[in-house]
Amino acid sequence: MNRFLLLLPLLLSTYAAAATAEAEQKLQRAITEVLAVADRAANRAVLAQKVRPVLQRNVSFETMTKRAVGPGWRSFSPKEQQQATDLFTTLIIRTYSNKFTPGERPVITYRGAVDLGSGRVDVPSNMVYKGSRYSVTYRLEQVSGWQITDVVIEGVSMIANYRSQLDAQFKRGGAPAVINSLNQSVSRP
């Protein structure tokens, strides 16, 4: 029994290190796949369309939408939750795609994943794109396997940024106001 207790911290740290490495590898494969799609895209509209299935496999858009909406999410009907998730997914993919020029690749250096416990990992990186340097941290969680649940660029969480907007919309008019706001954002060119 005493030997087991002595080995428990070692076993737990070994498990955490393996989980952290698995999350980082999953992220790197996902980014490599996204960049390969971007290399073949003729323009940003095509990029958004072609990268969508790749991102949907690697990003938990439902988790992101839920957190971006905030506490009001619980009052959304299942239909409203699905509608908000679909719209938010489209908005994020389009916004993401508009940041890149097809054929121009960023150079990404990963700085080693950090285990946050409870099935959560941060993967910090440095990105150089079009001559500018960015600090980007990808937040992954065990949702259905490792999936991205937030991206922090230069210290600003994408989810926190959207939350300030969507929570305010929710407080003004509930789920319909959030869905209307997302619809408006998605319908803009």
Q: Of the ranges 26-35, 70-79, 100-109, 162-171, which one carries the lowest mean pLDDT score?
A: 100-109
Q: Residue 10 has what pLDDT?
A: 42
Yes or no: domain 2-187 corresponds to CATH 3.40.50.2000: no
Q: What is the DSSP letter of 118?
A: T
CA distance 3 to 5: 5
CA distance 21 to 180: 40
- In this predicted model, what pLDDT tens digit does every residue of 5-63 receive, in sequence order? 554 454 344 445 667 889 999 999 999 999 999 888 888 888 889 999 999 999 999 99
Q: Which pTM was predicted? A: 0.86
Q: Residue 5 has what pLDDT?
A: 52
pLDDT classification of 162: cutoffs 50, 70, 90: very high
Taking each helix axis from N to C terminus, what angle separates 78-98 and 61-69, rounded to the nearest 10 degrees? 100
Q: Which has more pLDDT, 143 or 7?
A: 143
Q: Which has more pLDDT, 136 or 99?
A: 136
Chain centroid to CA 14: 26
Return the number of other C-beta atoms located less than 10 Å from residue 98's C-beta.
12
- Identify whether the C-beta of residue 175 lies closer than 8 Å to the C-beta of residue 181: no
68 Cβ contact list (under 8 Å, min separation 6)? 88, 159, 162, 163, 166
CA distance 108 to 81: 34
